[in-house]
């Protein structure tokens, strides 16, 4: 599953090594967003429901999470 995904980091990433990567490939077909540690691309992948990931990102942008 993870080999065929197109992974990307946020444009806000400062490349300091503490980044996550996401793949948007499965949102339309399966309604999920895969997330992985950019330092360990062969490591585990967490999969979040698209609506939960969207809410998480909105909370981050609003400064609700520290």
40 Cα distance to chain centroid: 14
21 phi and psi angles, rounded to 5 deg: -120, 145
d(CA 57, CA 28): 18
List pLDDT tens digits, range 32-62. Answer: 999 999 889 899 999 999 999 999 999 988 9
Confidence (pTM): 0.80
Is residue 15 left, alpha or beta, with left meaning phi > 0 and alpha meaning psi from -120 to 50?
left
- Does the pLDDT of residue 15 top 90, yes or no? no
- Does the pLDDT of residue 65 top 80, yes or no? yes
pLDDT confidence of residue 24: 92
């Amino acid at each position: 599953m993870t080999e065929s995904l197109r992974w990307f980091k946020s444009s806000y990433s400062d490349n300091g090594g503490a980044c996550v990567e996401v793949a948007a490939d499965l949102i339309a077909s399966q309604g999920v967003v895969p997330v992985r540690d950019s330092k360990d691309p062969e490591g585990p992948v967490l999969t979040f429901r698209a609506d939960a990931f969207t809410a998480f990102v909105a909370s981050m942008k609003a400064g609700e999470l520290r």
